[in-house]
Amino acid sequence: MTAVSGEEHGAERPSEGQGRGAVRSGSEPETQPEAPTNAGAVTNAGTTTNAGAPTNAATNAATSAPPNDPTPVTNGAAPVKRRRAPLSAGARAERRLGWALCAPAVIVILAVTAYPIGYAIYLSLRRYDLRFPDDSKFVGLANYGTVLTSSLWWQALAVTAIITVISVAIQFALGMTLALVMHRALVGRGLVRTVILIPYGIVTVVAAFGWRYAWTPDTGYLSHLFGDATPLSSQVWGIAVIILAEVWKTTPFMALLLLAGLALVPEELLRAAKVDGATAWQRLTRIMLPLMKPAILVALLFRVLDAFRIFDSIYVLTAGAYDTRSVSILGYDNLFTALNLGVGSSLSVLIFLVVALVAFIFVKGFGTAAPGGEGRR
Amino acid sequence: MATIASTAGGRTAAATTTRGRRPSGERNALLGWSAANLVIIAISLVPLLWLVSLSFKTPDSITDGKFIPRHWTFENYRGIFGESLFTRALLNSLGIALISTVLAVVLGSMAAYAIARLAFPGKGLLVGLALLIAMFPQISLVSPLFNLWRQIGIFDTWIGLIIPYLTFSLPLAIYTLSAFFREIPWDLEKAAQVDGATPLQAFLRVIAPLAAPGMVTTAILVFIFCWNDFLFAISLTSTERSRTVPAAIAFFTGASQFAQPIGSIAAAAVVITIPIIIFVLLFQRRIVAGLTSGAVKG
């Protein structure tokens, strides 16, 4: 989308745009233009061209300005720029407007993430028990030692990893099936698409209560079906129910992302493959899945990182009892039950590092095709 | 118009060829799809319907395990609406979610416009930042925010929840909105600028009205996100002054004055689910568009 418009504008404005338009059009068509991995030069150059156009009139007016006008205040702050011509007044105004428009959002985002994470690192280096707030002092990495030598942390990490991997795998398989059903259905595709949005819209806590009552003898129908089973009071079955709740809640999201990806698969290609004798399975694995790769990666990345943060359902279903704690539950318990801000903060930092590592592996492992999408939960 | 017509035409054509070739298989295929649909619908709805059923049961029949209540009662609903614990939480939830939504859409639109339309260095960085935040583990912020909010005195206030909600919904808003903004016919903006409008005027007078559908979609998604949040709601509040419904429901169990917390919880759960379901049903198409925008188009 952007690539195309960028080129158009480039053509309109040969003086400034050409070279950059070429950079843009040279990139592989499948690459997401906004992917952060290649966000530097390519995107920036492309959009520079792109935006030159609307200010045509302004630029023309600005030609009267001295050509060697020492450019921007901001040149130093923008290492990615490879601008040959000095900025016109219009372009500079545009830059300022761009920054001005983004500033409030950036400030809010940074104020509530970067600063607190820094503060969490600071707190994690101190002994800070909320019951004895005056007894706070610098203890170095002792809190990290406490956490990393605690079996609770490793167990929570393992439980979280198990929940994440299994639930995302099931979500992917089910989501793909649902997407195919919605894509191919002869009847009721609109109905299905509406109904599967309901789990997405339901508050996670509410859904978790629904599952908790369903699996509790006396109040539950599922429990009755399995001979008054009490899965929520054992580790393995507790985790199974947590995964079930997670799968139920977020498969629709996965299905919708995959459905959008399915729309990118050309119908003729599938028909041609069918004529050539490819089975349905071959058509799925050899044609659809490879073509849907970008959509699949985005969906998987977001689901994995989202599942890793799991908190609400566990809090309601088992409250972390029977060793079903996720790392988020552990962090919460340390803060509000143990009232230990120092250890709680070191947990925060460690969780953040694990998530960053997972995201990094994802983006590295899958290259530039990774996220151009958006975050949701 | 043309696209719609051609898609519809293509679909009909495909359907008729299938039917034409295998007239006997048609009924089976239809039956198969209908069965698949029914299964999907049942799985999507049953956990919710169970809560509805529980919420209408009387205290002594709540454990009978029957799907259809034997004795219907509105007692649970009357109970929760008679308690400030719930009504106040409902007010908090609505207020906090609405304010966050408005702020997120306004700030998000500004940033998304800049991303979709303007050239400025640091844009790639901004997009990357938004992506990072979308994946940020919220629990990592809970301990520092808990302490900070107590120090600056906004612990257990609306603003104390609105700020983190805003932070986490902004990436969502920016991505969805910039995907929508790219679809807008920009010639109109150019025309406005040729006619002498500044970029800001072009934004306010020309683009904003065209962008309204995207903004509505974004607002719905952000609202659902804020309405849904639980972790911040239980961590950054301590009284009913600012506790939202999901948090309040979770505390029904412990500190309940009700005879049967199960009935009350079920009723409260149904009450906060209804508006979202209505939303979802009314704006189904928009929500799908919003959820999948950006993810595929990039």
A167 falls in which pLDDT band (50, 70, 90)?
very high
SS (H, E, C) chain A: CHHHHHHHHHHHCHHHHHHHHHHHHHCCCCCCCCCHHHHHHHHHHHHHHHHHHHHHHHHHHHCCCCCCCCCCCCHHHCCCCCCCCCCCHHHHHHHHHHHHHHHHHHHHHHHHHHHHHHHHHHHHCEECECCCHHHCEECCCHHHHHHHCCHHHHHHHHHHHHHHHHHHHHHHHHHHHHHHHHHHCCCCHHHHHHHCHHHHHCCHHHHHHHHHHHCCCCCCHHHHHCCCCCHHHCHHHHHHHHHHHHHHHHHHHHHHHHHHHHCCCCHHHHHHHHHCCCCHHHHHHHHHHHHCHHHHHHHHHHHHHHHHCCCHHHHHHCCCCCCCCCHHHHHHHHHHCCCEHHHHHHHHHHHHHHHHHHHHHHHHHHHHHCCCCCCCC
Residues of chain A with pLDDT > 70: what percent? 68
pLDDT winner (highest mean) among A233-247, B60-74, B173-187 = A233-247
Q: What is the mean pLDDT of residues B151-172?
A: 87
CB contacts of A203 in chain B (<8 Å) are: 227-228, 230, 245-246, 269, 272-273, 276
| Per-residue model confidence as pLDDT tens digits over A41-91 | 333 333 333 333 333 333 333 333 344 444 444 444 444 444 455 667 777
Average pLDDT along chain B: 77
CB contacts of A341 in chain B (<8 Å) are: 143, 146-147
Q: Please, which residues 17-46 of chain B have a Cβ atom closer than 8 Å to chain A?
A: 18, 29-30, 33-34, 36-37, 40-41, 43-45
| CB–CB contact B296 A373 (8 Å) | yes
Question: For chain B, what are the domain ranges?
Answer: 83-297
Residue B63 to residue A289: CA distance in whole angstroms: 47
| CB–CB contact A54 B145 (8 Å) | no
Q: Is B230's Cβ below 8 Å from some Cβ in A? A: yes
Query: Check: CATH 3.30.70.20 for B83-297?
Result: no
| CB–CB contact B292 A48 (8 Å) | no
CB contacts of B224 in chain A (<8 Å) are: 200-201
| CB–CB contact A78 B29 (8 Å) | no
| Per-residue model confidence as pLDDT tens digits over B262-298 | 888 888 888 888 888 888 888 877 777 777 765 544 3
Whether the per-residue pLDDT at B19 is higher than 70: the answer is no
Q: Is B117's Cβ below 8 Å from some Cβ in A? A: yes
- Report if pTM > 0.90: no
Whether the per-residue pLDDT at A166 is higher than 90: the answer is yes
**Residue recorded with tokens 């195309």:** A4
Facing B107 at nearest CB: one of A104, A294, A305: A104
Question: Phi/psi of residue B255, each to 5°?
Answer: -105, 50
| Per-residue model confidence as pLDDT tens digits over A316-351 | 888 777 778 888 888 888 888 777 888 888 888 888
